[in-house]
Amino acid sequence: MIEVDGSMLEGGGQILRMSVALSAVLGVPVRVFNIRAKRSDPGLKAQHITAIKAVASLVNAEVEGLKLGSMEIKFNPKSIGGGSYRFDIGTAGSTTLVLQSLLPAAMFAKSRVNVEIIGGTDNPLAPPVDYIINVLKPILSKSGYNFNIQVLRRGFYPRGGGIVRAYMEPVTSLKPIRLEDQGSIKLIKGISYSSRLPEHIANRMANSASKILKSHGFDVDIELEILQSNHPKCALSPGCGIVLWAETSTGCIIGSDSLGEIGKPAEKVGEEAAMKLLDEIRGGGTVDSHAADQLIVYMMLAKGESIIKTSNLSMHTLTCIELSKKFLPEVSFEVIEGKPVTIRCRSAGFQRI
């Protein structure tokens, strides 16, 4: 059984999600202790429990310690199956963080995996669902992993109730991720969305972001999604946000986002997302700093040498690299400091039998 200290480095929920995903893929049991020890509210939250249940269902795992506030779990996986599943977080907890555990495990399933997750779709401190669809998904498709995500209903705090469906096509093996040159920016796209709010909110977010980006010479195309109570996709609680992504001449996709808050002007939301994206572009990376940490698990499972560059080496990314050594010590990661930071991974890869 692999022992993982959940307080290592970044000390958050990502250690738990990645540990469970790697345990499922590799078929090795894991014990995670000191779960989220560095958080103000340590231990398992509803979204963590749902993520573990989702992966456990897929691999018919035996799990101990699965209760709210638990600081330790044991996860003993069997073989990766397939089929259709449905999970309700029961709160506005992030559906995309549940997918963060499920996507790597489903990648090596015996058959297609379909899953419906109910919870939040746009949360603070979690990737928005539109980021997963428009940034992470096309990057992973370059390695041969294809999945589709549908948003049936948005979900915001406090009521949640968002509905996300994901359809994951398994692979036999994963090709390396090689993104070495940012290239030039061809187009910046985005989506500015709102539910149960006046129409001008989404327009103001989009206009603010577009004005800043166009002033730097970029072509910008931001879609509006304005949902009211008569639309089936409208969230149960009001909310808004914006997701942006730059498409480059070398096939890179670099993303950013900002979520609306009570008292935050719509123009500020749009400005935040635009400035974050400009910082990522100026940093010269081939992936944004949030994508970098999410890609580590795929780089270590891919066969061959993967290379990505990022403007900022986050603690999340360093934590994922450190965690990878516990599960596959033969995998070699090299971090080359500079502007941008280069992350190189050499792996024999994992192959579904």
What is the set of active-site residues? 316
Please give the Cα distance from 100 to 268 (Å, whole number).
Answer: 29
- For the record, the structure tokens of 174 come out as 């994963």
For residue 337, give the amino acid letter: E
Please give the Cα distance from 83 to 254 (Å, whole number).
Answer: 32
Please give the Cα distance from 239 to 61 (Å, whole number).
Answer: 36
- For the record, the structure tokens of 252 come out as 């890179």
φ, ψ (nearest 5 deg) of residue 311:
-70, -25
Please give the Cα distance from 321 to 92 (Å, whole number).
Answer: 29
- Please name the residue that has the structure tokens 């990766």: 80
- Please name the residue that has the structure tokens 């990057």: 139
Strands of the chain (E only): list them.
2-5, 30-33, 62-64, 72-76, 83-88, 113-119, 146-153, 162-169, 185-195, 220-227, 239-248, 253-259, 304-310, 332-336, 341-347
Please give the Cα distance from 210 to 195 (Å, whole number).
Answer: 21
In terms of Cα–Cα distance, which of 93, 128, 95 is closest to 256? 128
Please give the Cα distance from 117 to 163 (Å, whole number).
Answer: 6
- For the record, the structure tokens of 47 come out as 């979204």
- Contact indicator for 208, 266 with CB cutoff of 8 Å: yes
Q: Where are the alpha helices (DSSP H) in 190-288?
A: 199-215, 266-282
In terms of Cα–Cα distance, which of 116, 127, 332, 89 is closest to 243? 127
Angle between helical axes of 13-26 and 315-327 (0-180°, round to 10): 30
